[in-house]
Structure 1
């Protein structure tokens, strides 16, 4: 498959929500969605940066239909307020893209470890609150795309210390949160299928893309060596953010993208190249871990889904 941004279909009359739309993968996905006629709701923590990003897109796509809305995934209050502002509006595709990577330990407004809180719990809550907008029981063809990372392969969900209070390593916490993304995407697909809902849940990863994400950790930790190494890797190894956005765009728009699938770049070490369907880690297919994570996530966020628990597979 040699799928490119030129293959994005016509998206007029389609509304997409993109979290973290003001930079990196989210910005480039927003640009291509708008170029093909979609209405894009740019869900951004910082609306000033969001408006600047919208202006950047409009410089390329003068007729871009964009709307910047505040949505801080480190705050359940902000997530609920965002969902309330969208009440009654139709959403065709939700792209759970925003994230932080390998930062020193901190906590969200609600006391969650930030990487787990933003990367997973924030998106778990947001998706649940937007289910009605996605019309999953109304016969509409909607999709939820959750952006993970190839680093999820190193991840393990530590239910005894989810918030890293007893022991914290920035990379371990990041990998746990990215594994949680894939577990969530797969469990959501199973519940949608059980409910016979006309919606699909898809997981993706961007490979290694040149974005600002790689600099958050060294910036917050004050490591000059780490910062220099990140800049070198972004220059020498990484593909562009435009290329990194292709798996997201494919999952969100391609007619043949499949629910329950995992898409990423098919080139060198799955770090670059055109999107293809791939296998995720063995842990990501563990249905019991996914079920337990779902329950814990619902308990922590207070968000419940109007979806039945999937039946256990027959042996």
Structure 2
């Protein structure tokens, strides 16, 4: 882990003209705010959204909010349903057909603490969307990342809740028992394990690429509303909205760790970035230490192998030496 490098805001983002960025879940919350920030620095942002209609609405809203020309970059909306691996492959195929380069991939979209659901392939929804969908997406876009001149980056959005998580390889999809928060914590730990393992493989392949994980702290987004809405629980929904209003930082502030990990020149591969303020829930982004389990290379390698089997996506990177 690198030391705290002081206060960081979007004012310190580098110019990104002629750079191409993919942001999943770009139509709302953290993804929306990150998209705005990248565009303001001149990047071409591919807004990867489950709903093209909502993506187009978000694109128009960004253009309206930045009508004075502060968003110098360009925006492109593309359909991506991380709960359907066919959609993931189609998105990647269409991206590669349209673009020769990819400078930054932000694996941001996710679901949180929802009633048990399954993806198109029968994966538990939180593990399937938050981890497996992004694992497959990154694998499909790997050539674009590695073929791009200069250093490229993959930033994977986790959560402080990963600290309570473990990977239950015996019941990975929680078919025997299901707790919404345990399933969420498992998926967010998987995000960190994946980010670190990807960096190890980048290093072994001498790839000019960085993989980092981040978390937003406690940020007010629609993510918190999804579970109560799916349960039709008005009480839980209003309690969550009240907590957001009183305790949470804004989505724009919550996006700072992702933007820092994606653009700051001092970021090193294999770092975990989050807010450095009260209980790591708010404040300026800094490099932090994730849970002890997240540094377990044996867990990470096993998760990688299982992820390849489940998604049928393999990475053309050398396997790192197994830790003692």
Q: TM-score, normalization: structure 1?
A: 0.97
Out of 51, 64, 69, the residue aligned to residue 78 of structure 2 is 69
Q: Which residue in the other structure is 1:131 paired with?
A: 142
**Distance in 2 between the 1:142 and 1:44 partners?**
22
Contact 1:139–1:197, Cα closer than 8 Å, also in 2: no
Q: Which residue in the other structure is 1:80 paired with?
A: 89
Out of 256, 259, 268, the residue aligned to residue 258 of structure 1 is 268
1:169-212 deviations in Å (ceiling 9; x for gaps): 01000000000000000000000000000001000000000100
How many Å apart are 1:228 and its aligned residue?
A: 1.8
Q: Helix, strand or coil: the match of 1:108?
A: coil
**Distance in 2 between the 1:293 and 1:281 partners?**
16
Contact 2:17–2:73, Cα closer than 8 Å, also in 1: no
Contact 1:34–1:61, Cα closer than 8 Å, also in 2: no
How many Å apart are 1:311 and its aligned residue?
A: 1.1
Pick which of 181-190 and 249-258 moved more: 249-258
Matched, 1:164 2:174: yes
Q: Which residue in the other structure is 2:37 paired with?
A: 32
**Distance in 1 between the 2:19 and 2:73 partners?**
13
**Distance in 2 between the 1:98 and 1:240 partners?**
17
Q: Which runs of 4+ in 1 moved over 4 A?
A: none
Alignment of 1:18-167 (within 5 A): 18-62=23-67, 63-88=72-97, 89=99, 90-135=101-146, 140-167=150-177
Out of 209, 215, 230, the residue aligned to residue 205 of structure 1 is 215
**Distance in 1 between the 2:169 and 2:310 partners?**
13
Q: Helix, strand or coil: the match of 1:85?
A: helix
Give structure 1 stretches of 5+ with no counterpart: none
Q: TM-score, normalization: structure 2?
A: 0.95
> How many residues of Structure 1 are paired with residues of Structure 2 in the alignment?
313
Give structure 2 stretches of 5+ with no counterpart: 1-5
1:123-172 deviations in Å (ceiling 9; x for gaps): 00000000011125x65310000000000001110000011100000100
Q: Which residue in the other structure is 1:297 paired with?
A: 307
Q: Helix, strand or coil: the match of 1:26?
A: helix
Out of 11, 14, 21, the residue aligned to residue 16 of structure 1 is 21
Aligned-pair Cα RMSD in Å: 1.1
Q: Which residue in the other structure is 2:187 paired with?
A: 177
Out of 228, 234, 238, the residue aligned to residue 248 of structure 2 is 238
